[in-house]
Amino acid sequence: MITIKLGFVLICTLILNQSIAQEITKLPEPHKTGGKPLMQAMNERHSSRDFIDKDLTQQQISDLLWAAYGINRPEEGKHTVATSRNVQDMEVYLTTKDGAYLYLPKDNSIQKVLDKDIREVTGKQDFVKVAAVNLVYVSDFSKAGNGTDEVKTMTAATHCGFIGQNVYLYCASEGLISVFRAYFDNAEVSKALNLSENKHVIYCQTVGYSK
């Protein structure tokens, strides 16, 4: 009897996980024009940590993710950030109070990978659990060529730098605040996101509204 019950629970869990894994949300078309002039946005770029509990709109999430790692030349499949030898190793995960999502740049969509709030796991500072969004920047080393893990990490960190700056500038333009972060437990974030062993969390970045 216990074996039958366990089997039933296992099947239900598998079905649930599969349905969550397949839940894809198409985002509104990102705004690719407008915003503050670039020089003004650069002048206003800064790190801030006084987040309040206020959600971003779907449009803001679309614009934010597009700025971070969207496709800006669809005919070539290239991104808003450069990657070494165009390896395109990066994945951007969005964590909000509603769950964790993988950004799918080609489809301008987000795929739900977790149905729970893991914002708190993405950093060791109190504001991470309050802010609307914590982005997690992951490199897929299986896409990053033949170098050593040290070289791949350095290259991925550079890719993250570009992503992070785009996010800072978007936030400056949109009146949001942000902070790029290294202070998190890598193993905990990887475990929470169920990342396979070739995927490495490089940095995180918090985004939201200021007090």
Residues found near ligand FMN in the complex (CB under 6 A): 46-47, 49, 125, 179-183
Q: CB 51 → ligand FMN: shortest distance, Å?
A: 11
Q: CB 23 → ligand FMN: shortest distance, Å?
A: 30
Q: Which two tokens stand for residue 178?
A: 């942000």
The alpha carbon dihedral of 104, 108, 113, 114 has a sign of positive
Report the residue number, 113 or 138, with the smaller CB distance to ligand FMN: 138
Report the residue number, 108 or 125, with the smaller CB distance to ligand FMN: 125
- Who's near 49: CB < 8 A, 6+ residues apart? 125, 127, 177, 179, 206
Whether the CB-CB separation of 65 and 27 falls below 8 Å is answered with: yes
Report the residue number, 126 or 149, with the smaller CB distance to ligand FMN: 126
Report the residue number, 159 or 181, with the smaller CB distance to ligand FMN: 181
Report the residue number, 2 or 39, with the smaller CB distance to ligand FMN: 39
Q: How far apart are alpha carbons 188 and 194 in whole angstroms?
A: 10
Rg (CA), the chain: 18
In degrees rounded to 5, what are phi and psi of residue 194?
A: 55, 45
According to DSSP, residue 161 is labeled H
Q: CB 107 → ligand FMN: shortest distance, Å?
A: 30
Q: Which residue is nearest to ligand FMN (CB)?
A: 183
Q: CB 30 → ligand FMN: shortest distance, Å?
A: 24
Q: CB 33 → ligand FMN: shortest distance, Å?
A: 26
DSSP 90-139: EEEEEEETTEEEEEEGGGTEEEEEESS--GGGG-SSGGGGTSSEEEEEEE
Q: CB 202 → ligand FMN: shortest distance, Å?
A: 10
Report the residue number, 111 or 122, with the smaller CB distance to ligand FMN: 122
Of 97, 68, 100, 87, the closest CA to residue 143 belongs to 87
